[in-house]
A and B are shown apart, each in its own frame.
Chain A
């Protein structure tokens, strides 16, 4: 057993210990288990949110984007800050409504706002279909992180099994309290590791940041800015705006909002979170540093390993172990939140709807028992998923983004959207997302006669526009009908 592996295992055990211990002294009904009894203060909500926002995708994908695509990677920094600015007004409104009606999940929100259990079921199913592949992504990331960081002494498959068992255990036992406590360890470790790497690599290999960027610019002219076509400025702006809308529409991110004890928590966090985003800048620095230093150059899906490969190339075993542990936690923490949210939604928003006689205790217990089951299903897809799971993964973010209009417009004094309108709009949005993803369409292939600027727009815009049109047309129509019915009666 090498020292890297010992360090990784040690961090896994510490997290498991804190994850389980988090339960202490709590009566675990569903409200306590899934949203911490609405008791978290500013710091805990911050850590929980940071814990689930900064995933293996941020860690590996962020450096992979900088390594493979260059300038366009900066979009990740933009959409976060813009979403946080929006959060100042959006999250307190969501929280207030959820508190007033004792809501426990995003599906509860739709059910109550639109007075429609059918809409709640639709949103649950879409949410689960989006979340399970996201969980699979975390598990695959976990596998490659531990495999590379242990110098191949643990196979990716074994690592995934061990990780999943750990997550399922503490999530079942402690719910969101376990997630929050493991988040504390994760965010501290990730912050330290990423900032160190982001400063060390450019200085060690290039003598400084300016030297590094000049060297890259010389080797690959134009790589650090946005290209004229494809990932152009138009692509950049449309992608940032679209991604910012989807930021809080993930069911598990939505769930984390409900853990807060008051609405001021969100306003405070909206001040700090943009700055915290800068952690991504250091992730990018690592990716850029890898461009001229990792030999042989990485290609295709391998670019996501840029950070790990450069680390293995540069550091002693034990420190690679620390980096591996940070990566492992980046998979476990969001993984546990995804598991918990999926289980809560299956139990409360699907099972309970079809079997209304189920007691609260039954629903609560079922949610906990579902954690290992959902974990096993994700394992199956991780090992046997193939192309379907890849397609679902690409769709996940666009799928949940389709919830945005129905959430935001519901806060207007007179909601212009009816439940039928919301239902139809979301369904059409999802169908367009599925069609464009599966057939690999872009705006350029859909509308080849348009100018280049329009062709470069993120294809998600098409789904969002059609969603909005259908939502408002159907709403206008169903509203008129409802008014007529009232007149007749």
Chain B
């Protein structure tokens, strides 16, 4: 499950770029290809946060 989540940004690149390689429509002032890139940078952080929270390896009490 965690691997599937982490694979999403890779799919967004390998499959998504074929559709996202365009200037129109502009989103948040950015050409679409740039928006798609930024969107996935942010989503990668979100995904890794979910992975982190659900990973039992982080539950052990090795607090800093």
Contact = CB atoms under 8 A, between A and B. Distances in A.
B21 A233 contact: yes
Interface residues of B, number: 34
A469 interface: no
A209 B29 contact: yes
Interface stretch (A140-148, A271-279, A401-409): A271-279
Contacts of B47: 85
Contact of A226 (B21, B48, B52, B58): B21
Interface stretch (A75-83, A430-438, A480-488): A75-83
Contacts of B29: 208-210, 213
Contacts of A41: 64
Contacts of B55: 267
Given A270-B48, A270-B52, A272-B45, A237 B14 contact: yes
Interface string A87-130: 01000100000000000000000000000000000000000000
Contacts of A241: 13-14
A214 B32 CA distance: 12
Interface in A280-339: 281, 284
B17 A268 contact: no
Contact of A81 (B9, B18, B28): B9
Per DSSP, chain A at the interface is helix
Contact of B37 (A42, A78, A88, A271): A78
B41 to A, nearest CB: 5
B6 A85 contact: yes
Given A41-B64, A270-B52, A236 B41 contact: no
A78 B14 CA distance: 11
B42 interface: yes
Interface string B15-50: 001100111001011110110011011101101110
A278 B34 CA distance: 12
B13 A82 contact: yes
A181 interface: no
Contact of A224 (B34, B42, B51): B34
